[in-house]
Amino acid sequence: MESDDFYREIFVKTNIAERLERQLKSRNWDHQVINLGGVTDNYQPAEEQYRIMPELLKLLIRFENPAIISTKSDLILRDYDLIDQLSRVAYVNIAATVTTMDEDIRSVLEPGGVSSSRRFDVLSEFRKTNASTGVHMMPVIPYITSVRENLEAVFSETKQRDIHYLITSNLNLKGPTRAVFFNFVREEFPQYEQPLTRLFSYGKEYKEYKSELFQMISEVRTKYNVKADFGSIIKEKNAQFEAEQLSFF
């Protein structure tokens, strides 16, 4: 959007509720799951002022349309009652991004964000609804959040909180993101600048890193018995939801 100041500048789609209603009313719309927060967080501080999400949730309830909501914020608790209501008429998944349980690192990676433990508190609250819940450990950052101690901490907390699943993804540096990332590393984690530069030349070292990380995540996942198959959980919850709906007839 011709802006590099993504910490302080945000573009707001003030007509999104109107556009969503038009879409949901369309005869061609087949109640597909709508992903809210997959690209940018719907509960950024600007949402406190604009209050767009309650209008979207009311539309989803009205049309009984399933949704996935991903966030790093506890502002989502403001809309708890609406999400609870939606979870009773359609499939809903609430996901929180958690990359580390180390608050010193977390505060540097996500300045202004709520703590990782607070995000788990949010997920625990939504476990009381009919929604499924998940942890998105995205991205896993080499040398900073990819260490086994951190993986163990996030998976352990996920298990203790009885969250339905945890999925991970690697850090990919493409286009302008690369320069932004390395400027950040140079300022906050200078000790990793050279190793990360070598790693993200995407040669043999990167392939070996990915293989070792995959193996380590697999071992930790097995240790804590935390699911990764998001698709199967959607099917499971949908089947449960449909069975509950049929029981009323």
CA 96, 62, 50: angle at the middle one, nearest 5? 55
What pLDDT does residue 3 have?
Answer: 72
What pLDDT does residue 246 have?
Answer: 58
DSSP β-bridge partners for residue 92: 67
Token representation of residue 239: 């089947």
DSSP β-bridge partners for residue 97: 136
Indicate the pLDDT class of residue 110, thresholds 50, 70 and 90. very high
Question: The whole model's pTM is what?
Answer: 0.92
Percentage of the chain modeled with pLDDT above 90: 80
How many angstroms separate the CA atoms of 61 and 66, rounded?
Answer: 9
Cα–Cα distances (Å) from 25 to 58, 73, 164, in that order, read 14, 30, 32
Residue 179 pLDDT > 50: yes
pLDDT, mean over the chain: 92
Residue 236 pLDDT > 90: no
Residue 249 pLDDT > 50: no
> Can you tell me the mean pLDDT for 9-21?
92
What pLDDT does residue 59 have?
Answer: 98
Q: What is the pLDDT of residues 50-106, one digit of tens each?
A: 999 999 999 999 999 999 999 999 999 999 999 999 999 999 999 999 999 999 999
What pLDDT does residue 60 have?
Answer: 98
179 backbone dihedrals φ, ψ, rounded to 5°: -65, -40
Residue 242 pLDDT > 90: no
The CATH class given to the 15-229 domain equals: alpha beta
How many angstroms separate the CA atoms of 12 and 56, rounded?
Answer: 14
Indicate the pLDDT class of residue 17, thresholds 50, 70 and 90. very high
Choose between 9 and 128: higher pLDDT. 128
What pLDDT does residue 132 have?
Answer: 94
Q: Delimit the domains of the chain by residue range.
A: 15-229
Q: What is the pLDDT of residues 121-168, one digit of tens each?
A: 999 999 999 999 999 999 999 999 999 999 999 999 999 999 999 999
